[in-house]
Chain A
Amino acid sequence: MGSGHTISWEVAAWLIAALFAIAAEAARRLEAEGFSRASGWLAFGFFAAGSLIWMFGDTYAYYFGQKEDALRISYWGSYREHEMWKEIVAEFRKLNPGVRVKQEYITDNYDGKVQQLLMSGDAPDVILFQDEPFPQFVDSRKFQCLDDYCARKDDGVNLDRDYWKTAVESFRLNGKVYGIPIWGGECMVIYNRTTFREAGVPEPGEKWTIDEFLDACKRITADTDGDGRLDRYGFIIPGWVYWLPFTYAFGAEYLDPSRTKWTLWGPEAEAQFTFWRDLRYKHHVSPFSYELTMGGDTAFMTNRAAMFISGPWAMPSLNEAGVDFDVAHIPSGPGGHGTRVTWDSLVMPTDSRKKELAWRFIRFATSLPAETIVAKYQRSVPALKAAREAFISVNPKVRTRRFIDAFEYARIQPITVNWQMMNREVASETDLMLDDKQTPRETLRRLAENIHLKEVFEMPATGGEGVRP
């Protein structure tokens, strides 16, 4: 059932069909009065028999033929990440010469495809998986618990010692490990050095506060061509998930540590929503969405916006486009310092038939040689602490070290099985607030009274309209 077969089957079928068509035409010509009944039925018979063989040959092979013997690995990403996986697999095969590895590169709708493969019992042996849908999938008992593998003497691993803390936590549910972290990254301030230079504003240092951040935004925002319209902005307001660093800086939280109770309520929560609203309506340092042509990163790349919030995954495009950018820390606020970190891991489905081999690959892909390759591509921070130097040294033009330093104050997102729903509902309400359709306070109240959130979280008592949160 290899790829080569699939193609040659169809081609063979077409050649046969063409031959029959020629034969039928010849028969028709021979008998002047037209297509003779017998030759017609004969051609049809052959065609039908051929298609049945073509169709059910694979069915036969599926039940009685040889099973796939390669180790199957699935991942998503751009062509750059595909190249990275090719390198990792090549290194793995140097160490394990007899092993065949099949790379299943899924270019879109990754979670849906993995869901389907798991459901039908046809999942790859190693799956790259991200933290957001993770609880939902673990809930379905389709991911192998890896505690026993980690505890092994010969090829085990000490996750807490060797990997970044939040990375391990992201894939440990109810005290059990279901995925070995491979890479991730935090939200940082990514700034365009050209705009800072043009505006004569010093670049951010190792530490800064929200007030200093706001001050930089105000000094950069300008109407450079004098047409009465602002054309250089300090900061681009991102989607709400990227607000989390500032939410933490103001001392607010969406959920309590048990992640069952909605805690986005009270003066801190209101202060952080007000901060976002004010960027646009009070300080005028952020463009309205309609002033951007194709999204925030476009404005950033073309020097019309100085800062935005993103992770290391923003770097490949920026490097490719040749933008002069750097990375700054998240400013600290009244509630301290924090940022959002997100991780990807390698998991093994419970019904894999090659668990030993899969584990060997997972161990390799999360060990130093492979994580050094990960570091080289500058798309994410390696989850292995030992690969930090490799990650920092690849691109001397960008202070990627700050991604590593920020692990000190990074927190994982309030992910639950209902993460996607929560994401949509909060996005909808915060959109309204940014469009000045409702105040920060109303936004908090509407969220606390949201019918979908109410179904899954314990909500605070809002006390009706107009009550101060």
Chain B
Amino acid sequence: MTGGSRRELRAAPKSRENLLGYLFASPWFIGFFALTLGPMVVSFLFAFIKWDGINLEDIKWVGTANYARAAADPDVRKALVNTAYYSFLSVPLGLAAALGLAMLLNQQLRGISFFRTIFYMPSVIGGVATIMMWIWVFNPEYGLLNDLLRGIAGIIAKVGVSAARTWEPPKWLLSQEWAIPSLIIMSVWGTGASMLIFLAALQNVPDSLYEAADLDGAGKVSKFIHITVPQISPALFFNLVMGIIGSFQVFTEAFLMTAGGPNKATLFYVLYLYNKAFQDFEIGYASALAWILFIIIMAFTLLIIRSSKMWVYYAGE
């Protein structure tokens, strides 16, 4: 705040709140301007250059050529379709799974702390063990998943559905059609963080609301729809926004497990961007790709925020 005379201060309590707001948020502002906005501007400028990222003297200005190239690149289109497909399935499924687990963990069961630790474990462990295990689970011939599916098919065949006898389970990560669904299943399994957030939200729903509903004779489903969902809607909003932002940038699983294959079926957008930046050393083109993704994610997030006024309930307002 600059040059506020004593009189102004007294006259406008608003400016004091302004100052406080900026003061409280100041750690973020420092970080934002120094470590985020600056680099973002740089990367924005990078989108107009051709550069291998090694020698600063080799930077060449190419104007909008990188964007024109992206528009014509069939792999960009393929990567966008793959990424959208992944996002629109994995986000809702992940949310449902996380909420379901959180509700289970919110029950008054003995030994619940034990289960809580176990359900969060995949998020803690991660890494190589998880990847190796999933490759094993998804193995079409010997994997656990297909063993299970064959067992189920066998039972159905016994009941008399002849189609089940000749049915072959999918080849998961190794088939073009099932590679993305496989990765979606994986992502649902690793929803520990969303689960924790839902759990914290569930525990903050006042018991008095449920007690009042009990007195009215409301059933479990009705309580869930009319009390739980509105009460945890801020957490739902949070997980939805984070899910969209995160899933559009899906990278690690495809990078480590499929390398974009088979035949580019799991070529996700950020994987393609990574290949361009760090394998082909095309920093300029990769930056342009990043900004295209930025605009897309921004559009979706704004859409959710706009709509949130209709469905998110804050007790504080």
Interface residues of A (CB under 8 A from B): 109, 111-112, 115, 118-119, 136-137, 139-142, 289-291, 293-294, 418, 420-421, 424, 427-429, 431-432, 435, 437, 451-452
Contact = CB atoms under 8 A, between A and B. Distances in A.
A428 B280 contact: no
A431 B179 CA distance: 14
Given A118-B54, A141-B57, A291-B142, 8 more contacts: A118-B55, A119-B55, A136-B54, A293-B142, A294-B135, A294-B136, A428-B264, A435-B263
26 contacts: A109-B278, A111-B278, A115-B54, A119-B53, A119-B54, A136-B54, A136-B281, A139-B52, A140-B54, A289-B174, A290-B140, A290-B141, A290-B171, A290-B174, A291-B142, A293-B135, A294-B132, A294-B136, A424-B275, A428-B261, A428-B263, A428-B264, A429-B263, A432-B262, A451-B74, A452-B75
Contacts of A140: 52, 54-55, 58
A437 B263 contact: yes
Contacts of A291: 141-142
B55 A420 contact: no
Contacts of B135: 293-294
A431 B139 contact: no
B279 interface: yes
A22 to B, nearest CB: 24
B258 to A, nearest CB: 11
B55 A431 contact: no
A435 B74 contact: no
Nearest to B172: A290
A420 B174 contact: no
A169 to B, nearest CB: 23
Contact of A418 (B139, B140, B280): B280
Given A115-B54, A293-B139, A431 B281 contact: no
Contacts of A428: 260-261, 263-264
A435 B53 CA distance: 37
Nearest to A118: B54
> Residue among A137, A291, A293 with the most chain B CB within 10 A?
A293
B221 interface: no
Contacts of B264: 428
B303 interface: no
B56 A424 contact: no
Contacts of B75: 452
A420 B279 CA distance: 6
* Chain B interface, DSSP helix/strand/loop, else mixed: loop
A418 B279 CA distance: 9
Interface string B252-278: 000000011111100000000001001
A137 B141 CA distance: 43
A432 B260 CA distance: 13
A372 B178 CA distance: 50
B139 A112 contact: no
B281 A427 contact: no
Interface string B210-240: 0000000000000000000000000000000
Cβ-closest 10 pairs across A and B: A140-B54, A420-B279, A290-B140, A140-B55, A112-B278, A432-B263, A290-B174, A431-B262, A291-B141, A290-B141
Contacts, number: 67
A239 to B, nearest CB: 10
Nearest to A433: B263
Looking at B136, B259, B262, the one whose CB has the most chain A CB atoms below 10 A away is B262
B281 A421 contact: no
Given A289-B174, A294-B135, A427 B278 contact: no
B309 to A, nearest CB: 38
B171 A293 contact: no
B277 to A, nearest CB: 9
Contacts of A435: 262-263
Interface in B108-164: 132, 135-136, 139-142
Nearest to B75: A452
Contacts of A418: 280
Contact of B279 (A293, A421, A432): A421
Contacts of B54: 115, 118-119, 136-137, 140, 142
Which of A136, A140, A420 has the most C-beta atoms of chain B within 10 angstroms of its own C-beta?
A: A140
Contacts of B142: 291, 293
Contact of A431 (B56, B57, B58, B261): B261
A230 to B, nearest CB: 11
B55 A293 contact: no
Contacts of B281: 115, 136
A435 B177 CA distance: 13
A428 B272 CA distance: 14
Nearest to B135: A294
B135 to A, nearest CB: 6
Contacts of A142: 54-55
Nearest to B72: A451
A139 B261 CA distance: 30
A430 to B, nearest CB: 10
Contacts of B279: 420-421, 424
A117 to B, nearest CB: 10
A290 B75 CA distance: 26
A116 to B, nearest CB: 8
Contacts of B139: 290, 293
A428 B132 CA distance: 23
Contacts of B262: 431-432, 435
B133 to A, nearest CB: 10
A457 to B, nearest CB: 14
Contacts of A427: 259, 261
B170 to A, nearest CB: 10
A115 B286 CA distance: 16
Contacts of B53: 115, 119
A431 B263 contact: yes
A55 B280 CA distance: 36
Contacts of A289: 174
A431 B260 CA distance: 12
A109 B261 CA distance: 20
